[in-house]
Structure 1
């Protein structure tokens, strides 16, 4: 696996949990995107403890394309764990993230890439959401809770299409629900965050792993964790040094 950045500039993390029906279409969309990507790009699937045939399908997909790689987590740890596992091993300059359900499409990474040089996190803002009513309602409520607590100015932190500078990603504090606070956590590092409108599509196969209780109640609880981290988060700027490069 080539995660050292010599060949690629962007690595796209794709967390997967029981998405066997979506994987063939997902692989096609990602393969087609690599041909039009505006920077050299590779893909990292993170199999998050799937109990269906997802791991076997991922292994087959990666076997046939050198720009596709994967890791498998022994047990299901959730989205934040899958993202952190990817952040920990990626060494390309940029890290992307997209969900396996294809409600956002890889081709829109090119829209985000237009703005990444002047920002540290660029994320999508889903236009004309194509979600079921309860999922849409829970997302709206969760976003309102989060904006009140974080004051990050982000309308759609749950959008599953993001590009982040890897140096910032590697410094993110790990906790359950971390993925909901990526913009605010980047801002804690004095990073710049931008959101741009993208298209949103209905889920074709499978079902969402989120529901009203875990999205709204989970976000409410995680907001207090974020406030604790914000109060104790360590940042510093070195004003002078006599250290010499090796």
Structure 2
């Protein structure tokens, strides 16, 4: 059969077991050729597994007689009842699962609603970090030895005045950076940093035309975390596998330097 181009819709079909069997081999080749989509498929699968785990033992329960009668119209709905604990837990798990698609994310101080731009920013930052932090020879597009050119080029391409924050006080040296495609903003900038052990963190920046402002928020996918925020016309995320406390220290430093650079 002729190979076709797959899309994100096919990821959901595959995870739901609805992708035609004769397309499966082509789909797997497509995933291998698109690491960003393969990473997204893994995140969606993890969300699905979390939801199933939260609802384990509930999905197979019989519908209570009281609810069955309400559904058939034999009894009026009962209002103002406090939800059972299992239902609250399931709702929390559902919110988390939907978070990967742009609904809610777990913030530093609890669950908070976020807009589509912030959701895509965090998702893009983690996907890009997962791809390029693992590279050996092509980690960056432009090296740190051309820092001035790198910063000017990325600033012009994404439409925001940038600086490459100095994270040496946090133990990380700039390797360089690259231009990336971005779902909500078309383009994004990535600066990659590395410590003496070879561990890497990345700074992901995109323009935010909505000029929404947020505090730091946290998204965790597997062993990768991203602290992200929107402020003064741009969106930014620090991604890596560091403990949340260390990532927050780096995010604070990057935020301060980016703000000073834009004001300057």
TM-score by length of 1: 0.24
Higher helix share: 2
Structure possessing the higher radius of gyration over alpha carbons: 2
